[in-house]
Amino acid sequence: MFSGTAYTQLTESLRRVHALGSVGELLSWDEQVNLPPGAAEQRAAQQAALAGAIHAAASDARIGGWLAELEKALASLDDDQRAVVRNARRDYDRATKLPADFVREKAAQGSRGYHAWAKAKAADNFADYAPVLERNLALSKREAGYLGWEGREYDYMIDRHDPGMNAAAIGRLFDELKRELVPLGRSIAQSPVRPRPEILRGFPVEGQRTFLREVTARLGFDYDRGRIDVSLHPFCTGTGSDVRMTTRFKEDEPLDSLFSAIHETGHGLYEQGLSPPDLGTALGIHAGMAVHESQSRLWENQVARSRGFWRCFEPRFRGMFPTQVAGVSSEDLHLAINAVAPTLIRVDADEVTYNLHIILRFELEKKLFAGELRVDRLPSAWRDSAQALLGLTPPTDREGVLQDVHWSDGSFGYFPSYCLGNMLAAQLWYRILQLRPSLEEDFTRGDFTWLLAWLRENIHAQGRRFDLLTLTRRVTGEELSPRHLVRYLRERYGPLYRI
């Protein structure tokens, strides 16, 4: 192991940059959980001042000097150190290669774009939003150019979220998945079995909160190193010893808050499993959005929708809400937990059709970047795809191309991570079942320690040493593939919907 001054100084500097960045995340958490309504402008000034300080720290020329020195001595570094240098170079280039004018223009456009999107969505008026998308596309391409991705602009957008991934590889995976999922979704939609989630009504918030906290603690979320609060939209932020999740409560949708919280718990367990002394370097940061999503999905879907999980928690659930579930059979409850129905809106989708929503967006993004689709043709392209993939045609753009916030600030290339995460979750699941065939019996006993320990060692503690495809190969022994997800969905939903 190389132990020169440059490496030590580099990692100390990266830790400071990371600490400042994590302060920004805390400000955002606070904004959604605590901020007095009148303080928005003051908070924006704090975020702007902090962003300036973070940028100054991240673009410190000394970092460039240490990197140049270490890159000349790569042979004397060990694998971990090389991963640290590689990731630091990536961050440093992004901090230094974008002209300040461009960064300001993009930030301003992001804010304008958000408001334009919100207005256009409310008015169901795509024409007003189209110029925003044109500008965001142009800015994204310019950004890719500054960083040396000319001609591979959409790959750059993907690589930002999932290092090492690209559009061609995703296209192959999604094509294969689509061939299987479209007919599976159709079959379920035509099944005579009908879940009735509306049978769950009138669950007091305090009881939901208690139950949810018991469940998430049992799964392994460490409340000495994290917390859960309430916000408008559930999310998880923070890392290491200070991980903050949120959820929301609706008396007539107890499964919504529970599964949201379990999803965020999956993200939280990943972040709590990173190595605190290594925060800010490749050894102490998540591997990318797809791997992150694989963790939230695995706990939300493979674990918390399983029979074993509910054999453990159903008695407690019934004990806490005796009147609310008096007339609900175990089968009805399980079917409500696993309700599948095509919907126009991505965020309302079940775990079968959700993937089709993602494929739709990926295909449109790819065509936009390739110049094969004009922005003004997006609404009709969306409608055609929705009909082909989901069997539904949005009657308004609000339920179609205007539904998502992501593109309004130029976050192209983000959607694929959700579906890649679902694939990886299922692939991990079958690998885990090979190693631990009795896993659902663990769940029945309320014991999730084996599963968490395995994820800790094989995924969480790995940090960003490996990219998505390499990590998948190392951990599961094969290439990332959609067939595990298809198998999982068939095994779970086939019997339930009698298909």
15 is an interface residue for a copy of itself by CB under 8 A: yes
Task: Give the closest residue to 343 by CA, choosing from 305, 380, 388, 391.
Answer: 391
Contact 174, 485 (CB under 8 A): no
Task: Read off the tokens for 76.
Answer: 């004397």
| Closer to a copy of itself by Cβ: residue 49 or 122 | 49
Amino acid occupying residue 193: V
14 is an interface residue for a copy of itself by CB under 8 A: no
| Closer to a copy of itself by Cβ: residue 22 or 396 | 22
Which one of 36-44, 301-309, 391-399, 412-420 is the stretch in contact with a copy of itself (CB under 8 A)? 36-44
Neighbour-count burial for 450-484, b at 16+ CB within 10 Å, e otherwise: ebbebbbebbbebbbbbbbbebbeebbeeebbbeb
Amino acid occupying residue 199: I
How many Cα atoms within 13 Å fall on the side-chain side of residue 422? 26
Neighbour-count burial of 285, counting CB atoms closer than 10 A to its CB (0-12 exposed, 13-18 middle, 19+ buried) = buried
223 is an interface residue for a copy of itself by CB under 8 A: yes
| Closer to a copy of itself by Cβ: residue 40 or 193 | 40
Q: Which residue from 71, 128, 150, 222 is in contact with a copy of itself, where contact means CB under 8 A?
A: 222
217 is an interface residue for a copy of itself by CB under 8 A: no
β-pair partners for 243: 226, 238
Q: Which residue from 4, 9, 32, 43 is in contact with a copy of itself, where contact means CB under 8 A?
A: 43
CB of 271 to a copy of itself, least distance (A): 12
| Closer to a copy of itself by Cβ: residue 36 or 371 | 36
22 is an interface residue for a copy of itself by CB under 8 A: yes
Task: Please say if 12 is a catalytic residue.
Answer: no
Considering 153, 253, 264, 363, which one is annotated as catalytic? Answer: 264
CB of 20 to a copy of itself, least distance (A): 5
35 is an interface residue for a copy of itself by CB under 8 A: yes
| Closer to a copy of itself by Cβ: residue 16 or 318 | 16
CB of 44 to a copy of itself, least distance (A): 10
100 is an interface residue for a copy of itself by CB under 8 A: no
Residues 345-404, interacting with a copy of itself (CB under 8 A)? none
β-pair partners for 203: none
Which one of 19-27, 292-300, 312-320, 459-467 is the stretch in contact with a copy of itself (CB under 8 A)? 19-27
Report helix, strand or coil for 284.
Answer: strand
| Closer to a copy of itself by Cβ: residue 46 or 96 | 46
41 is an interface residue for a copy of itself by CB under 8 A: yes
| Closer to a copy of itself by Cβ: residue 205 or 339 | 205
Residues 56-75, interacting with a copy of itself (CB under 8 A)? 56-57
| Closer to a copy of itself by Cβ: residue 16 or 94 | 16
Strands 242-247 and 236-239: antiparallel
Distance from the Cα of residue 136 to its chain's centroid? 22
Number of residues that bind a copy of itself (CB under 8 A): 39
Task: Using alpha carbons, list the distances in angstroms from residue 426 to 355, 396, 468.
Answer: 13, 34, 14
Q: Which residue from 113, 163, 185, 226 is in contact with a copy of itself, where contact means CB under 8 A?
A: 226
Q: Round to whole Å and give the CA distance between 255 and 241.
A: 28
225 is an interface residue for a copy of itself by CB under 8 A: yes
Q: Round to whole Å and give the CA distance between 101 and 456.
A: 42
Which one of 22-30, 149-157, 319-327, 395-403 is the stretch in contact with a copy of itself (CB under 8 A)? 22-30
Extract long-range pairs of 137-142: CB within 8 Å, 24+ residues apart: 137/368, 137/369, 137/375, 137/410, 137/412, 139/102, 139/105, 139/106, 139/109, 139/410, 140/369, 140/410, 140/412, 141/369, 142/102
CA–CA–CA angle 497, 498, 499 (5° rounding): 95
Q: Round to whole Å and give the CA distance between 331 and 195.
A: 10
Sign of the Cα torsion 476, 477, 480, 485 reads negative
Residues 268-307, interacting with a copy of itself (CB under 8 A)? 276, 279
318 phi-psi bin (left φ>0, alpha ψ -120 to 50, beta other): alpha
Residues 457-476, interacting with a copy of itself (CB under 8 A)? none
Task: Give the closest residue to 230 by CA, choosing from 255, 252, 261.
Answer: 261
36 is an interface residue for a copy of itself by CB under 8 A: yes
Contact 356, 184 (CB under 8 A): no
CB of 23 to a copy of itself, least distance (A): 5
39 is an interface residue for a copy of itself by CB under 8 A: yes
| Closer to a copy of itself by Cβ: residue 47 or 191 | 47
| Closer to a copy of itself by Cβ: residue 35 or 499 | 35
CB of 468 to a copy of itself, least distance (A): 27
Q: Round to whole Å and give the CA distance between 393 and 257.
A: 29
Which one of 11-19, 136-144, 151-159, 423-431 is the stretch in contact with a copy of itself (CB under 8 A)? 11-19
CA–CA–CA angle 327, 333, 339 (5° rounding): 135
Which one of 41-49, 100-108, 120-128, 135-143 is the stretch in contact with a copy of itself (CB under 8 A)? 41-49
**Residues ≥6 apart with Cβ < 8 Å to 246:** 29, 32, 33, 228, 229, 230, 231, 233, 234, 235, 236, 264
CB of 262 to a copy of itself, least distance (A): 19
Q: Just list the catalytic residues.
A: 264
Q: Which residues bind a copy of itself (CB under 8 A)?
A: 15-17, 19-20, 22-23, 26-27, 30, 34-39, 41-43, 45-46, 48-50, 52-53, 56-57, 222-227, 240-242, 276, 279
